[in-house]
Structure 1
Amino acid sequence: MSAPPTGPLTYVYAVTPPAPAVRLLLPSLTGVGGRPVTLLHAPGDDPGPVAFVISEVPRPEWDEDALKARFEDLRWLEDAARSHHRVVEALAAHTTVLPLRLATLYEDRAGALGALRARGQAFATRLARLSGHTEYGVKVHVLPAPPPRAAAPATAASPGRAYLQARRAQRHDHEDRFRQAGLAAGRVCAVAGRFAADRVAHPVQSGPLTAASPEENVLNDAYLVPDAQAEAFLTALAAAAHDLPGVRVEVTGPWAPYSFAAPPAPPAAP
């Protein structure tokens, strides 16, 4: 019975072209757990159209059992996600990048290289699609309605009736703000149709992470925008809700194209 492997695992951040700009950048980067970042590609004079950007990480800290526990540690998870994102963003500033998910791991360099060979053409096709494009996030928020105001004593028949009138007015205001949000969402989609090459609709944000905000998120989209159209896209979005006081349109980015990476599925096992 062979002994279990003990060598480092291969952590993959992203797929990029094996360009000189990437080779020059990597020595200045620090990856997850403070590990050095290097480039992995086919050996020889022809490295092929794509390469993995990797770190070698200690197996006891990154194997399946370790990750089950570490993913419950929010501080560790945040540090790892920041390190992963920092590498991807640095790459995106110099070349087209196909970001991979946090904790994309292979048994060793040979395993990672085998995956790169098997899926290289699909990766290259996706990189070509993303070239010259950048991701922007667009959210539409409904602003909170003002608190109900009691009617003036001279016009109020009773405190109870005054309260009900104020609550009814608040409800109508809330409904009006949602109608305004629908208008804003329609305008955002119209702008995207003019400028964006692709769209991903993410679930709206809710739950504990947004409990502290009085706003309600009703649209949470990502758009892949040609770099030549980015300024016009942002200018058009800035006007999407200028006459809708109950709505806020939030634009984030530019980002590496996380929402559009969609790495190809590995080939089926025989």
Structure 2
Amino acid sequence: MNRGLYAYAITRDRPAEVTGAWLIGHRDLALVVAEVDLDRFTGLDFDEPAEDSPLAVLAREHDAVVRAVFRHEPVLPLRFGTVLEGTDAALRLLAVRHDEALARLHQVEGRREWGVRVRAAARKPVELDGLSGTAYLTLRRRNLTAADDTRRDAAALHEELTRAAAESTRRDLAGDVLLDAAYLVDAGREDDFHAEIHRLSGELGLSVEITGPWPPYSFTTMELADA
């Protein structure tokens, strides 16, 4: 069996009970790790959406450990699939990234991530029989104008929510998604943040999907390849 040390997140070096994982500490920081069978990470199909796929099972296990620590301490989640050679590599990572990680932990402390997604409204099918060319072009221009208005409204929503959050980031868009963003919000201001979402989406006529709360997955920027 091919074994390795799987790294879930960086946190503070304080006692923590995490089923199946433990902490490797160094100067007030700790790496949340577990010994794993590396064969589970070979041949994964990243295009497989099924909830019972090997990739989905591993991703849920990763999230469960990160969340278990996040309930008590701030965390910097590491990229899914981060594997180290052993304890020495873990200590080396913490030493190289010490000041950066400690500062970032302070920045995310007391804050949680919320996701907001806006989709374009589904268009009703148009009956083209008997529709003149002029009428068709008029309808097409009207639809394009409406789509542009919705994109601008989604951008305005993001701008306002960014002001209400400690940090924000936008993700790449796909399909009918007009806004896919994450916001890092102070725990004590979450009610106000959600009230702002509902107020703005109502005023702008946008259909909004909200996910969370999450650990700050979208706000961990450390690259570990050169650590």
1:219 to 166, 171, 179: 179
* Partner AA of 1:12 in structure 2: A
1:52 to 31, 40, 56: 31
Gaps of 5+ in 2: none
CA deviations on 1:134-165 (whole Å, 9 max, x unpaired) are: 11112221101222257xxxxxxxx5335873
Larger Rg: 1
1:138 to 102, 116, 127: 116
How many residues of Structure 1 are paired with residues of Structure 2 in the alignment? 223
Shift of 1:256: 0.6
The CA RMSD measured in Å over matched residues stands at: 2.5
- Large movers: runs of 4+ above 6 Å: none
Structure-2 separation of matches of 1:249 and 1:173 = 20
Match of 2:142 in 1: 172
Output the TM-score relative to the length of structure 1.
Answer: 0.73
Shift of 1:244: 3.9
Residue 73 of structure 2 is aligned to residue 95 of structure 1 = yes
Residue 173 of structure 2 is aligned to residue 204 of structure 1 = yes
Match of 2:105 in 1: 127
Gaps of 5+ in 1: 1-5, 30-35, 43-47, 151-158, 207-215
Match of 1:41 in 2: 25
Match of 2:213 in 1: 254
* Partner AA of 1:95 in structure 2: E
* Partner AA of 1:169 in structure 2: L
CA deviations on 1:83-138 (whole Å, 9 max, x unpaired) are: 11111122222211110011111111222122122222221111111111111112
Structure-1 separation of matches of 2:162 and 2:126 = 37
Shift of 1:218: 1.2
Residue aligned with 1:240, SS: helix
Structure-2 separation of matches of 1:16 and 1:251 = 27
Output the TM-score relative to the length of structure 2.
Answer: 0.86
Structure-2 separation of matches of 1:114 and 1:205 = 39
Distance 1:267 1:103, change over 3 A: closer
Match of 1:114 in 2: 92
